[in-house]
Amino acid sequence: MNHLDKLRLWGKAIRVMASKHQAVQLPKEGQPDAGLTRDYSQNPLHRFKKPGSKNYQNIYPPSATLHLSNIPSSCTEEDIKEAFTSNNFEVKAFKFFP
């Protein structure tokens, strides 16, 4: 919430705050919900679920820097730059880290 409140998105500031509700009311089994409500609280894919984990320690505010990981060793700097420039993104700086 601290990093996203008042962040500008598509030219407008977004507001992020804690809800006054303690829980989300999920629809009862068999009731229609148009696919708008899902419970991900037990999903094992949540990167920040385990306090103290490597991912949990790497939470930073939004910035203009994009970090990529798990890039195949066969991929070159030019391959990565081309992936962005071919989609009209500007690459201002680039650095491989070991």
Domain-wise residue ranges, the chain: 69-97
Alpha carbons 91 and 95: distance in angstroms, whole number: 11
Q: Give 38-97 pLDDT, tens digit per residue.
A: 777 777 777 666 666 666 666 777 788 888 888 888 999 999 999 999 999 889 888 887
Tell me the pTM: 0.44
Rounded to whole angstroms, the Cα distance separating 68 from 65 reads 10
pLDDT score of 79: 92
Higher pLDDT, 14 or 38: 14
Give one DSSP letter per residue of 41-55, joined into a string: TT-TT-TT-STTSHH
Is residue 29 very low, low, confident or very high in pLDDT (cuts 50, 70, 90)? confident
**pLDDT given for residue 55 in this prediction:** 66
Give the number of other Cβ atoms within 10 Å of residue 62's Cβ.
10
Greater model confidence, 56 or 14: 14
Task: Count the Cβ atoms, other than its own, within 10 Å of residue 77.
Answer: 11
